[in-house]
């Protein structure tokens, strides 16, 4: 990957709303070349999508976000990929990561209630043939999400100094 494309990715990762014109100015590059590079990275799926980070705590929408640790027995020949695909195809699932350490997959999902999340785990996830165990953690509050601080101090409020 060339240097310009890496610079583009660095900028749009933090601000996906930036226009090709503004991006070209920031990078000191030709706007047409920048637009062409972005289109190429979208076509080859280097850029997989554009997302907005929303602080749902400031809305009336009730949601429960869960992080689920999943231990599995990898399938012969297919390994982890086939099982990951089965998991990420569930509409409730937001993210699936293959992990190192004490569990194999980390799954992030959201539901309207604890009962909805529990039903997903009991009826869909834990019934998959390779799943040997799960551990569920519920997000109580988001302080920072994808590099964006979700809580802000009042102006003039000072941070305590700790020796």
Q: What domain range includes position 39?
A: 3-43
Shared-domain flag, residues 31 and 86: no
pLDDT in tens, 92-119: 999 999 999 999 999 999 999 999 999 9
Shared-domain flag, residues 36 and 66: no
Burial, 81: exposed, middle or buried (Cβ in 10 Å; 0-12, 13-18, 19+)?
A: exposed
pTM to 2 decimal places: 0.76
| Beta carbons of 118 and 83 less than 8 angstroms apart | no
Count how many domains the chain has.
2
Q: pLDDT value at position 157?
A: 61
Q: Report the percentage of the chain scoring pLDDT > 90.
A: 63
Shared-domain flag, residues 25 and 81: no
CATH number at residue 128: 3.30.70.920
Quick check: 67 pLDDT over 90?
A: yes
* Residue 155 lies inside a defined structural domain of this protein: no
* Residue 146 lies inside a defined structural domain of this protein: no
Shared-domain flag, residues 27 and 93: no
């Amino acid at each position: 990957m060339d240097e310009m494309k890496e610079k583009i990715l660095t900028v749009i990762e933090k601000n996906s709303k930036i226009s090709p014109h503004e991006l070209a100015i920031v990078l000191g590059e030709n706007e047409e070349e920048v637009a062409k590079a972005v289109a190429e990275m979208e076509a080859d799926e280097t850029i997989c999508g554009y997302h907005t980070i929303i602080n749902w705590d400031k809305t009336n929408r009730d949601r429960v976000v869960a992080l689920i640790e999943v231990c599995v027995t990898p399938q012969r020949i297919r390994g982890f990929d086939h099982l990951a695909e089965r998991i990420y195809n569930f509409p409730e699932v937001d993210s699936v990561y293959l992990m190192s350490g004490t569990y194999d997959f980390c799954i992030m999902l959201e539901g309207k209630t604890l009962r909805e999340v529990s039903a997903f785990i009991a009826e869909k996830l834990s019934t998959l043939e390779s799943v040997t165990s799960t551990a569920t953690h519920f997000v109580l509050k988001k302080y920072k999400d994808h590099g964006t601080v979700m809580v802000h101090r009042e102006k003039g409020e000072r941070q305590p100094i700790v020796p």
